[in-house]
Structure 1
Amino acid sequence: MSDIAERLNQIRERISTACTRAGRDASSVELVAVSKTKPVEVIQEAVDAGQLLFGENRVQEVLLKRPLLPSKLRWHLIGPLQSNKVRKILPQVEMIEAVDSLDIAKDINRIGAELGLHPKVLLEINVAVESSKHGFGATQIREQLEELYGLDRLYIQGLMCIPPFDLTPEQSRKYFVQLRTLRDELEKIGGAPLPVLSMGMSHDFEVAIEEGATLVRVGTAIFGGR
């Protein structure tokens, strides 16, 4: 068994254990293997170990890697998206996880209509109000939710966040609670379900699962450092 296959097995076991602690079924959480900067040969090792869902930060990496890997793979764009890259990426990925403004949501909606697509998206929330991070503020998303729901090509699936990095996973918990609480509030305001919560990375995904994550984005713990 390769190192990557072994690490994947360990991550899956940890996901299952965290779900058990939270009284959840392990099938309620999906692992996004974050393959940014990794060559296709390394990604193929993960595929051989049964991983099919991958996350990339940059449009160009998706465009380069996707044709060289099995067509059965599923791809999420998990980094910020620039308006001039929307047309290129929409046909290539299953979900855009980091819609961070009303403007980019409008661009995705418009180009989705032109391409005959209904893009699945998550709305990125800047939970700690960090100036260095992208995303909607909590007040902003409440004010703009109606306009976002008026974009008829978008399938808004839920929310995602990247809390401040802290080596102590427990420090992330309050931000995961904030995201889940905001999701619950937005469901009531908007009158539509938001079933997906993408939160938690290599160092804190177990805490995220305990607080309701349905997608966890794990890179370093599978592939090692850059």
Structure 2
Amino acid sequence: MSLQDRIQHVEERIQAACDRSGHNRNDVNIVAVTKYVSVEMTQTVLDQGILHIGENRPQNAIPKWEALQGRGAWHFIGHLQSRKVKDVVGKFKYIHSLDRISLAEEVDKRAAASGVEVLAFVQVNVSGESTKQGLEPSEVEAFLQEMERYTHIKVIGLMTMAPIEEDPELTRPVFRRLRELRDELNAKMVTREPLTELSMGMSGDFEIAIEEGATWVRLGTILVGKGEED
């Protein structure tokens, strides 16, 4: 199946999920996860009109970013070490894995020095799995209150990863809880501006995530295929 065919197939499934749940297709954004594919494939993805690119390792992403001269909007979607922030800020417009104050301090410092604003998702470990990063749901409100002092980070929403399940329907409670948490925080007006975004759903469960309110889905193999890393 060609990239164009895969994009069309994914689009049909996204539209069907929106139709089932009453969501507007225009509210769902695709992040093409290109961490396993070449610069050439990443360029082809951009040429096909998918402008959001997701990577999780600076050492692999930066050569692609440089080769493509910063085309598209780049999303850092993996666990971010504080010492790697210098490589990310200024190239990645979005960070999906903000989960500790020490990281926020480094991101804010680097963003201020670069004269940019970073759009961030707070990562929440809704499933409670020990193998996953992120804040406990009960910790998010206090974390967001602390985030108010950082002037070069704009928290736009929440992110989570569901357990890998053979039956995607089993992921629904995780996605639903993240949406409910966002709505609860907005009702309390914890942040200056409402949190509008939910980054949730990957190749195996994105339709369920969309039905539960995802505004960003992170799609790798199902969209771009899987090749060798550069």
TM-score range, shorter chain: over 0.9
1:206 and 2:207 aligned:
yes
Normalised to the residue count of structure 1, the TM-score between the two structures is 0.94
Q: Any conservation in 1 of the 2:37–2:225 contact (CA below 8 Å)?
A: no
Task: Within 5 Å, give how 1:89-100 maps onto structure 2.
Answer: 89-100=88-99
Equivalent residues of 1:62, 1:92 under 8 A apart: no
The two structures, once aligned, show a CA RMSD in angstroms of: 1.5
1:45: which partner in 2?
44
Distance 1:165 1:155, change over 3 A: same
Counterpart of 1:46, as a letter, is V
Structure 2, unaligned runs of 5 or more? none
1:48 Cα deviation (Å)?
A: 3.0
Count how many residue pairs are aligned between Structure 1 and Structure 2.
225
1:71 Cα deviation after fit: 4.1
> Any gaps of 5 or more consecutive residues in structure 1?
none
Deviation of the 1:142 alpha carbon: 2.2
CA distance in 2, matches of 1:175, 1:203: 14
Deviations 1:163-182 (A, max 9, x none): 11112110110000110011
The Cα of 1:70 is off from its aligned counterpart by: 5.7
Shift of 1:47: 2.5
CA distance in 2, matches of 1:36, 1:93: 14
| Structure 1 position 45, deviation (Å) | 2.7
Deviation, structure 1 residue 46? 2.0
- Shift of residue 223 of structure 1? 2.5
* Runs of 4+ with deviation above 3 angstroms: none
CA contact (8 A) 1:35 1:56 kept: yes
The alpha-carbon deviation at position 96 of structure 1 amounts to 0.6
The CA distance in 2 between the partners of 1:213 and 1:88, in whole Å, is 28
Higher relative contact order (CA 8 A, sep 6+): 2
Provide the TM-score with structure 2 as the length reference: 0.92
